Amino acid sequence: MTHGCLKCLKYTMCIANFLCFICGVALVGFGVFMMVNFKVTALTPSLPSFNLANMLLISGIIISCVSFLGFLGALKENRCLLLTFFLMLFFLLVVELTAACMLLLYENDIANWVEHDLNKGLEEAKGNHSDVSRSEWDLVQKTFDCCGVHNVSDWGDNVPVSCCLNDCTGSPTPQYRSTGCLDKMRSWFEENFLTTGISVIVLCIIEVLGMCFAMTLFCHISRSGLGYKL
């Protein structure tokens, strides 16, 4: 009975990690696709690499590597791989919980930093008239139905097309989006705070279950004397 349960646990880990590996590879592919086809610049100059394409790429690599370790360790019943998988999940869990605590403790400071950096990024985008340098601002302004950091006046006389509600090029009285992106982002975060919190809790539960499964298999292999079976 115990052997059957452990065998079921082993193949459950294999299937779950294989699905996570496929998702991670898909994220890597999508991130590379965005980097090649969309020349985006970061909204925050303090973090020049903090854009959607890079975040997808990094997340995909992490998910792929961790899930591959879990899949191979469970399939081969390898103690070294299972222990590495456990430690990596534990490290990710600690990082996620630390980031969540920092966001809650320093919410106002982070909000002020984001506002300052968005203003700085917008000033840099204003100085460059090419569409490439504004692509990420255009994406944000269209997605959140906003314009500038606080309002359309932030762009001065160099208002991008993404701020327009109508055809700005052919209209004598163009209409612009009235709300700033900072307020829209803050409202979106507040509206999705519960969903984000639930998602983080679910992710932590999945990671804890993965750690429990890995340690259970690790202890079973140690007791059975299989060693570093490959």
Coil, helix or strand for 172?
Answer: coil
* Nearest Cα to Cα of residue 43 among 145, 123, 111, 154: 123
For residue 194, how many other CB atoms are within 10 A of its CB? 9
User: Cα–chain-centroid distance for residue 225?
Assistant: 41
**Residue 143 confidence class, pLDDT cut points 50, 70, 90:** confident
Return the DSSP state at 180: -
Q: Is the dihedral of CA 150, 152, 155, 161 positive or negative?
A: positive
What pTM does this model have?
Answer: 0.75
Does the pLDDT at position 96 exceed 80? Answer: yes
Does the pLDDT at position 119 exceed 70? Answer: yes
Number of residues written out for the chain: 230
Q: Which of 41-45, 150-154, 174-178 shows the lowest per-residue confidence on average (mean pLDDT)?
A: 41-45
Q: Is 188 in contact with 144 (CB distance < 8 Å)?
A: yes
Does the pLDDT at position 228 exceed 60? Answer: no
Q: Which residue has the higher pLDDT, 137 or 91?
A: 91
Does the pLDDT at position 48 exceed 60? Answer: no
Residue 228 burial (C-beta neighbours within 10 Å; 0-12, 13-18, 19+): exposed
Does the pLDDT at position 22 exceed 90? Answer: yes
Angstrom distance (rounded) from CA 25 to CA 65: 10
* Mean pLDDT along residues 137-161: 82
Q: Is 40 in contact with 136 (CB distance < 8 Å)?
A: yes
Q: Is 155 in contact with 163 (CB distance < 8 Å)?
A: yes
Q: Which residue has the higher pLDDT, 56 or 224?
A: 56
Beta bridge partners, 228, equal 78
Q: Given this model, what pLDDT does residue 91 score?
A: 94
Residue 207 burial (C-beta neighbours within 10 Å; 0-12, 13-18, 19+): middle
pLDDT in tens, 159-190: 787 788 776 666 667 788 888 888 888 888 88
Q: Given this model, what pLDDT does residue 115 score?
A: 83
